[in-house]
Amino acid sequence: MNLFSINVILLSIGVMHEDLQLFLDTNLPESSKKRRKIKLGVGDQKIGAAIQESMGFTCETGGPVAEIHRGVFLFIMHHKPFLWCRKVKGEV
């Protein structure tokens, strides 16, 4: 099993892997004052709770987040359909 598979499994059960924590630390502000103002949109409540507990970011999982996910998915399907086709066939 590769590292990508392990990260996906951990995310699916709501555990924040160190790679995700490193990504968020690298790309979001460090000061606690700015962190309180940031609201992350995540697709799953469990991982949102894990992020909020360990890093202090407010996470939203409701309607607007789902709409953004749908929009990104439709964009990929319309503009880059070959990405989705390879993924479905198991070639990626």
Q: Predicted confidence band at 35 (pLDDT cuts at 50, 70, 90)?
A: low
Separation CA 36–CA 53 (nearest Å): 13
Using 50, 70 and 90 to split pLDDT, how confident is the model at 56? confident
Inter-residue contact 87 to 81 (CB < 8 Å): no
Q: What's the one-letter identity of residue 4? A: F
Phi, psi of 62 (to 5 degrees): -80, -155
Whole-model pTM above 0.75? no
For the chain, the straight-line distance linking the first and the last C-alpha, in angstroms and rounded, comes to 15
